[in-house]
Chain A
């Protein structure tokens, strides 16, 4: 019996489900030789808004999950990525110079996910503090997640950059709406499928494909978003506009080209809570 060649429809990932764009639009993704690769969902501002609703709904539970649990879930993501290594390599090869390069990026992306997973139960120890105060108080500061974060992932690091963006935001308990690389969307679509099967609660990670130039302004002005990651914004003027919009409700903003990585990146999306506990002597 001959196999049927079932083509995959590249869809969005919102609230744990895979909807088409509410607008019904798609765009053609082309590989490095300008050959047609796939029709990919072109997200609209409505999709962005739906994603915010999903991310907000997921925040309470995810931010209150134990650090240990969040680490386990992110580690599980890397496990499933490992199982799909060949697929990721194949997709990245469509745009990378050599297959070797693609393999290196996939391995590095999986490592990066594990590395961030490990941070979940260490953030509070490293960034929290016990503060000496002049009074009968035990005074301490602990980090808390900022809330719902909208992110523009790097255009030319379709998997590694995306993993870095997502993992650094959600590891501390934030939820995220990420706009994936517009020209190289397939790794993001596959990563969504990985996330959907890794015990990540629906809505914690939402992935949109399409043009950040179209969607990001709506997310930047959205009053129910608490922080903005502009890493993937490659136009200075647009970054400036987005930052201005973000100021309307005092969002935390990570500017493009800040070259932050690792723990420094995690810290951008944290707030500090300080507690003065009476000591009684």
Chain B
């Protein structure tokens, strides 16, 4: 355990991370997730109709919450540069469109992104720790993180060791997250659970708790490289874990669903879920993010529709 643990946890939670068996006991003591209940609640909330001014506000809030992402093996400096331009002015024809929250790239491209975002308050997020599989040694993970931070990354998106999770080595995951957090320094740490590989809601809940106990600033659903990526039920389970954690510790953890969120309608559903589960304190880009790329274009098209009265098309937004 690191000595400069920034968390002041209530003693019961502090004790839970003392040993492997204590952590296992604590996680197994968490109440189980009611699968049917979660899915039913999500379906119910998904039917809410968000129209006119509320929709306009929801669209702008969603844009401000986006981590505009490019995570391809074929990413070039030029691609990152154009992504940064889009992050600053998502719709070149309409200066009233707000900027996005952050640009999310691989760690070797952090410098390029940083350079192109000088003078803005848009953050640069880097995926690190052997993204997306995380199958590298801890030393390599720490080096990856340190590289990104030294290039100026404001946020680090790390992946947990899902293999360790399925083997039941929860304390290993906890220790790794803490070590990465330590390396991050001032940079915010988002912990990717890769819920598609955790298989059950109970596992998602456990992994959320491990990440939050270890000092995550955000918990994030997915890398976007595994199907299923972010889903509404999984997000609800994680939001509920965040709520329980806040009750126990008075610490507010952020949430980032990522992967597969493509339409304005989807985004509105996530916002409804967020508002109903965690309330207004989370309804801002400091506490909630969308990890997305194509979502932004759909939001812009909907925004154009609300402004001009006519349905817009993909010819009127930038091609990524």
Q: Which of A49, A223, A245, A248 contacts B315 (CB 8 A)?
A: A223
Residues in B neighbouring A224, C-beta threshold 8 A: 311-315
Closest to A45 in B: B311
Give the A-binding residues of B (Cβ under 8 A).
Answer: 309-316
Q: Are B310 and A56 in contact (CB under 8 A)?
A: no
Q: Binary interface profile of A, 200-223, with partner B (CB < 8 Å = 1, else 0)?
A: 000000000000000000100111
Closest to B309 in A: A221
Give the B-binding residues of A (Cβ under 8 A).
Answer: 49, 52, 56, 218, 221-225, 245, 248-249
Instruction: Give complex CA distance A248, B316 in Å.
Output: 13
Residues in A neighbouring B312, C-beta threshold 8 A: 223-224
10 A-B pairs closest in CB distance:
A224-B313, A221-B310, A223-B313, A222-B311, A223-B312, A49-B311, A223-B316, A223-B310, A223-B311, A222-B310
Instruction: Give complex CA distance A56, B311 in Å.
Output: 14
Closest to B310 in A: A221
Instruction: Give complex CA distance A225, B312 in Å.
Output: 9
Closest to A224 in B: B313
Residues in B neighbouring A56, C-beta threshold 8 A: 313-314
Can you list 28 A-B contacts with CB-CB less than 8 angstroms, sorted by A residue number?
A49-B311, A52-B311, A52-B313, A56-B313, A56-B314, A218-B310, A218-B311, A221-B309, A221-B310, A221-B311, A222-B310, A222-B311, A222-B313, A223-B310, A223-B311, A223-B312, A223-B313, A223-B315, A223-B316, A224-B311, A224-B312, A224-B313, A224-B314, A224-B315, A225-B313, A245-B310, A248-B310, A249-B315
Closest to B313 in A: A224
Residues in A neighbouring B309, C-beta threshold 8 A: 221
Closest to B312 in A: A223
- Excluding A56-B313, A223-B316, A245-B310, 4 further A-B contacts by CB distance (< 8 Å) are A52-B311, A218-B310, A218-B311, A221-B311
Residues in B neighbouring A245, C-beta threshold 8 A: 310
Closest to A49 in B: B311
Instruction: Give complex CA distance A225, B311 in Å.
Output: 10
Instruction: Give complex CA distance A41, B315 in Å.
Output: 31
Instruction: Give complex CA distance A218, B310 in Å.
Output: 7
Residues in A neighbouring B313, C-beta threshold 8 A: 52, 56, 222-225
Instruction: Give complex CA distance A221, B310 in Å.
Output: 5
Instruction: Give complex CA distance A182, B310 in Å.
Output: 24
Instruction: Give complex CA distance A236, B297 in Å.
Output: 37
Residues in A neighbouring B311, C-beta threshold 8 A: 49, 52, 218, 221-224
Most chain A beta-carbon contacts within 10 A, residue among B309, B311, B312? B311
Measured between C-beta atoms, what is the minimum distance from B294 to chain A in Å?
13
Residues in A neighbouring B314, C-beta threshold 8 A: 56, 224
Residues in B neighbouring A221, C-beta threshold 8 A: 309-311
Instruction: Give complex CA distance A218, B315 in Å.
Output: 17
Instruction: Give complex CA distance A44, B311 in Å.
Output: 14
Instruction: Give complex CA distance A245, B310 in Å.
Output: 9
Closest to A218 in B: B311
Instruction: Give complex CA distance A49, B315 in Å.
Output: 16
